[in-house]
Structure 1
Amino acid sequence: MDERKRDSIVAYLQRRMAEFDITPEALAASIAEDQRRLQAVKYRDASGNSWDGEGAAPQWVVQATSAGQSLDHFLVRREKEPQADKPKSVDWRDDPFAGTRLATIKTEQLQAS
């Protein structure tokens, strides 16, 4: 975006904020509240409806569970932080190819074919 266009958009937003009596502090507080609310979401459907799991279940949850859908289906799964320090270990005792020809093929042979 070029600088003139950016300055034009900023000026427009400042005029609209003044028109509706919106302060930068109120805007920042609103954004922070939205972020907090998004972090509190535990269940979400494909339409974007969400629920924090507290209080009475909303209508979309009641309808889905009445139709036989599990509540776990709508659970929002948060990404776990990767553990960079600890490498994943491999349990070779459960190797299905142990003792077979596949376990003895060298990587050079695989790359050559």
Structure 2
Amino acid sequence: MDERKRDSMIAYLRHRMDDVGISPDNLAALLATAPAGSDTGRYRSAGGDTWSGEGEMPQWLKQAISAGQSIGHFELPCGTPARPATQTQTGADWKNDPFAGSPLARSSHARQ
């Protein structure tokens, strides 16, 4: 991002913070109290794997997108904590699974 775009974004964010009553001190206090490693992830697979959206895209997401799924399908709502996959999932009906037998059906957990 060039310097001019960066300065413009900072001015915009300061303006929006003023509009809703957030001071730089409020923001600094929030950031100081956030626990280390509290990144909740931005995308989550059905198996519980998460990705923050930074760095290289994980294989599970690459495979889903190449199979025609939209990345938005895996996006978490803002503020949703990433939860680990449950060991027993009930109520799943796999008989109509369009990915049965494909690489998408094989999770990293199944290879262990």
More helix by share: 1
User: Higher RCO, 1 or 2 (CA under 8 Å, sep at least 6)?
Assistant: 2
TM-score range normalised by the length of the shorter chain? 0.3 to 0.5
TM-score normalised by the chain length of structure 1 = 0.37
TM-score normalised by the chain length of structure 2 = 0.37
